[in-house]
Amino acid sequence: MGIAGGLTAASGTVLAAGEHEHDERPTSDEKPTDDTTPGAAVRVAHFSLDAPNVDVYVDDDRVLADVAYGDVSPYLEIEPGTYAVTITAAGDPETVAFEGDVTFGAAFYTVAAIGELGAETFQPAVLVDAGSALVRLVHAAPDAPAVDVYADGEPVFEDVSFTDSTDYVAVPAGARTVSVRPAGGDSASTVASFDVTLEQGTAYTAYAIGYLEPPADATDRAFTVETTVDGPMADADGSDDGSHD
């Protein structure tokens, strides 16, 4: 399985440039990532039972060559954005199995080729991998209604009630603006908003705590969100000690 074109193989869970094979130099449209701007990392898995070996193109640049059934490529660095992805028979760019736009955020992705060509069900399944940040929500504010949580205006959790705790979900790493709203409410109904930076490969819990309407003897217990770093990374990085109004 070959790696071609201008994308770079990502090593482990760190988006650092690694050694790679290439057919041509990177194009001027490709923007290098750096340590301060989270990038995306994408790999391709061939799980289509009746498809031949395939080549994979991103914006007409061949990035993977001769991928066989059962193969999973290394992660390849790419700038977040929307790209034209084309999957063709290996060595035969005129035989196209899939062609369409795919959007990648600042996260790790697997694009898995699934389905069957003969049944016309061949398609790419685009999966966000756990290399992004993992986040869950615990609703511990007794007088708050069920809530929805948004990151940069996109829903992350919906209709979470008091005492509920969600499963972890993958969220693109990087700086995010998080807002909490009553379930079904619009942005004008936001009851809390704060900025947070999520690190790749780190798990977090966001605890909604306090009172929406504090009693007179508990004015220092107003509604807020407390975030913690969970698991092994808590010892390495420490918990986020920032409560957010």
Task: State how far the Cα of 195 lies from the Cα of 200, in Å rounded to an integer.
Answer: 16
**Looking at the structure, do residues 58 and 138 belong to the same domain, yes or no?**
no
Q: 3-state secondary structure string, 80-93? A: CEEEEEEEEECCEE
Q: Average the pLDDT over 79-106 and give the result.
A: 91
How sure is the predictor about 235, in pLDDT bands with cuts at 50, 70 and 90? low
Q: For residue 158, count other CB atoms closer than 10 A to its CB.
A: 14
Q: Which of 111-120, 131-140, 141-150 has the highest average model confidence (pLDDT)?
A: 141-150
- Same domain, yes or no: 73 and 148: no
* Average pLDDT, integer, range 118-144: 86
Domain end call among 96, 111, 128: 128
pLDDT beyond 60 at 142: yes
- Res 56 pLDDT > 50: yes
% of residues, the chain, pLDDT over 70: 79
pLDDT, tens digit (0-9, with 9 covering 90-100), for 6-35: 444 433 322 222 222 333 323 333 333 344
Last residue of a domain, one of 128, 157, 184: 128
Mean pLDDT, the chain, as a whole number?
80
Note whether 20 and 9 are within 8 A (CB). yes
What does the alpha-carbon distance between residue 175 and residue 133 come to, in Å, rounded to a whole number?
11
| pLDDT score, position 120 | 87
Q: What is the C-alpha to C-alpha distance for residues 100 and 162, in angstroms, rounded to an integer?
A: 42
What's the rounded mean pLDDT across residues 118-143? Answer: 85
How many domains does one find in the chain? 2
Per-residue pLDDT tens for 156-188?
999 999 999 999 898 888 899 999 999 999 999
Residue 141 shares a structural domain with residue 178: yes
Q: What is the pLDDT of residue 1?
A: 52
Dihedral of alpha carbons 168, 172, 183, 137, sign: positive
Chain CA centroid to CA 183, Å? 24
Segment 103-131 mean pLDDT? 83
pLDDT of residue 60: 92
What was the pLDDT predicted at 190?
Answer: 95
Tokens 């009693």: give the residue: 215
Q: What is the pLDDT of residue 80?
A: 87
By residue range, what is the domain housing residue 217? 133-244
The pLDDT of residue 119 is: 85
Which CATH number characterizes residue 223's domain? 2.60.40
Q: Is residue 101 domain-shared with residue 20, that is, in the same domain? A: yes
Identify the pLDDT of residue 37.
Answer: 47
Query: In this predicted model, which residue has the larger pLDDT, 128 or 95?
Result: 95
Inter-CA distances, 120 with 85, 111, 204, Å = 18, 18, 41
Same domain, 213 and 109: no
pLDDT at 110 over 50: yes
Out of 106, 128, 150, pick the residue that ends a domain. Answer: 128
* 104 and 142 co-located in one domain: no
Cα 213 to Cα 142, 161, 191, 223, 225: the distances in Å are 10, 17, 11, 8, 15
